[in-house]
Structure formats: C-alpha cells, structure tokens
Amino acid sequence: MHNILVIDDQEDILKNIKAILEDELYNVDIALNSEESLNFINTKNYDLIILDVWLDNSELDGLQLLKKIRKDKLMPIIIISGHGN
C-alpha cells in the first residue's frame, strides 16, 4: 500500500482529502503545519506528498517547505492552493 502525506493548514481540507484517498486504499497521514510534516517525513517514507502553498501558523510556508524537503528527499510532491492568486 502506498503512503501519502497531506499538508494543509485547514483541518477540513485535510479530512476531505484523507477520506478520498483512504477510499482508494492509500495510507494517509495529515499535518497542519511545517513542523508536523517534517516530523512525519523524518520518520516515515512517503510515495507522494500533497502540499498546500499557503501554511498559516507555520514556521515555513509551502514553498519554503518544498525547498527543505527537496534538499533531503526525492519524491513526488503536488502543490495545491485554494487561492486564486
């Protein structure tokens, strides 16, 4: 089974994406901020990360987190945003 990490600062979005992916039989972890996500990434291997470009109340925003992840890991990352700009 594939492992996916979903990172978003909105809990309702996390729960919706998690439910959809689990219905498709993926193992899904969720993180509300960059600190939680780095803890997951440092302890578990993921086949895919879904990352929100905006992360309020987080040490790093999505783009900063993307750069940090890319320094240490090579895995597919999909960037999402609920903003039109």
pLDDT in tens, 12-35: 999 999 999 999 999 999 999 999
Distance from C-alpha of 66 to C-alpha of 62, rounded to nearest angstrom: 6
Q: What is the DSSP letter of 49?
A: E
Q: What is the DSSP letter of 60?
A: S
pTM of the model: 0.93
Taking the CA atoms of residue 18, residue 63, residue 41 and residue 77 in that order, the dihedral angle to the nearest 10 degrees is 60
pLDDT band at 61 (very low <50, low <70, confident <90, very high): very high
- Spell out the residues 6+ positions from residue 77 whose beta carbon is closer than 8 angstroms to its own: 48, 49, 50, 51, 66, 69, 70
Question: In this predicted structure, what is the pLDDT of residue 44?
Answer: 95
